[in-house]
Structures are given as structure tokens and as C-alpha cells.
Homo-oligomer: A and B are copies of this chain.
């Protein structure tokens, strides 16, 4: 998917919501556990109920790998379902991968070709030759970890390298990489006050923003400092939406929660 197609979808739906499909069998409605593939059944119901309210889905691969082959199959079925039934949706494999060159190419093939995701999250620690293999794929997007939403972000990301915070160094350096127009960045909503500085370095890039809701980040704050003329934000919510109810009405309950966020987003876009 091109960036323009994503922007068009955002404008059409008046939403820049991404829904995190982090499926934990201990948290989904018990009546699904008797089905052949509870993870996929859960995702399918959530997707059918919310696809008009969001522009992206973001399964975190950890939740699928934890269930071995069954989990991987559920991930395959979920992305196939999305690509077949809702091809306008932007899909994000939240995998946080990154390895030496030829190995990163294998990861890129796994997520961009085999699973046919539109984007994948990648960790920057191993530098240029660990990220460029992902950037080489046309109309695919590499979402680089910059400033994450967790407490551990303060261990290294906000430390100062040669007069500049590590996460800023990551942003600036990544702009020099080949096909850097295919980069987006992860910036946690719990650190909205950093967004002014971030926008100075990457004024136009899309930011994937986790941490609104369950982790305490504020949508208003993020938009105040992060919104661009082309929106430039994907706000992710996972637990706050998908686990709104553990009863048979879970999909409707998820849609209600998604609707609240979509309407807040619509109001913000209208006020721009």
C-alpha cells in the first residue's frame, strides 16, 4: 500500500485508529475456546465489527508465537482474511525484528511476501544494514522503534549520545538510509511532550503511537504536537478495545470503544 492510499483511507473514514490484535487465550470470551481456532474466530469478529472505524490492524507476533504452530496459523489466517475482505486496511506486523543484512532480508520476506503485511516494526540497535533490507521493498513500510511507550525507554533511548538523545540520533541517522521514504516511526503516547522535538526531525513521517488508553497516554496531547497536514499519525489501542467485554457481545463492545476513539479523532480532524 502506498502512503497516499493510507492517507486517503484516513480522510474517508475520518479515523487514524489502529487496533492491536494481541490475542491472549486467557482474556478472550470463554465461549470461543471450544471453536477450532479461537484466536482467528476472535480476530474475525473484532475485524468485522470495527473495520469501518479504524484504518489499520496491528497483530503483535509475540501473542501468536506463544501458541506455536496453532498461533502462527491463526496469524496467517488473520492477515489473509484482512487482505481478502478488507484490502483497504493498512496491516502492521508488530514484530520488532532486526538482524544482520541477509537475515533481515529473510524477515522482510516472511512479513512482506509470505504473510503479505503492508508494514513491519523493526528495532534500530543493529543499525543501517539491519534496516535497509526491509526498506528495499516497494510500497511496504518499515516502522522503526524510536521512542517506545514503556518505562525502559529511559534506560537507553533518552540518554545523550554526543549531545543528542539516542532516539533523536536514530531518527536523524535513519533519514540518510536508502529508501528512507518507506520509514515510519514508533513513538509512545506516554511521551507526548517529546513530539515537538520529534516533528522537527521528521516533520512529515507517519508515527505509530501506542500507549493511548491502557498505558495512560492522551490522544489530545499526541495530536496537539504530532498531527501534520496529512495527519501523519496512527494511534494504536489494543486491550482497551479488544477486551472491552468477555461476554458474547465482545465484538459489539469493541466497536463501541473503537467508535468513541474514532469520534474523538473525527472532531480533531474537523477542528484542524
**Which residues of A approach B to under 8 Å, CB–CB?**
22, 24, 60, 62-63, 65-69, 72-73, 76, 96-101, 103-104, 106-107, 109-110, 114-115, 123-131, 145, 148-157, 159-162, 166, 169-170, 173
Contact = CB atoms under 8 A, between A and B. Distances in A.
B152 A126 contact: yes
A123 B104 CA distance: 14
Nearest to A63: B106
Nearest to A73: B69
Given A68-B76, A69-B73, A124-B125, A106 B62 contact: yes
Given A68-B72, A76-B68, A127 B157 contact: yes
18 contacts: A62-B106, A66-B109, A69-B69, A69-B73, A72-B72, A123-B123, A123-B125, A124-B156, A125-B156, A126-B148, A126-B153, A126-B157, A127-B150, A127-B153, A127-B157, A129-B152, A130-B152, A160-B161
B127 A68 contact: no
A247 to B, nearest CB: 23
Nearest to A215: B100
A66 B106 contact: yes
Nearest to A151: B129
Chain multiplicity (copies): 2
Given A100-B152, A129-B150, A130-B150, 17 more contacts: A63-B103, A65-B114, A67-B114, A68-B72, A69-B69, A96-B98, A96-B99, A100-B149, A100-B150, A123-B126, A127-B152, A127-B153, A127-B157, A129-B151, A129-B152, A131-B152, A160-B162
A104 B63 CA distance: 9
A60 B153 CA distance: 26
Contacts of A161: 156, 159-161, 166
Contacts of A129: 150-152
Of A22, A149, A154, A156, chain B has the most CB atoms within 10 Å of the CB of A156
A150 to B, nearest CB: 4
A114 B62 CA distance: 12
A152 B123 contact: no
Nearest to A153: B127
A123 B152 CA distance: 12
A107 B60 CA distance: 10
B162 A159 contact: yes
Nearest to A155: B127
A98 B123 contact: yes
A154 B129 CA distance: 11
- Rank and list the top 8 A-B pairs by shortest CB-CB distance, nearest first: A127-B152, A127-B155, A62-B106, A65-B110, A66-B106, A129-B152, A100-B150, A159-B161
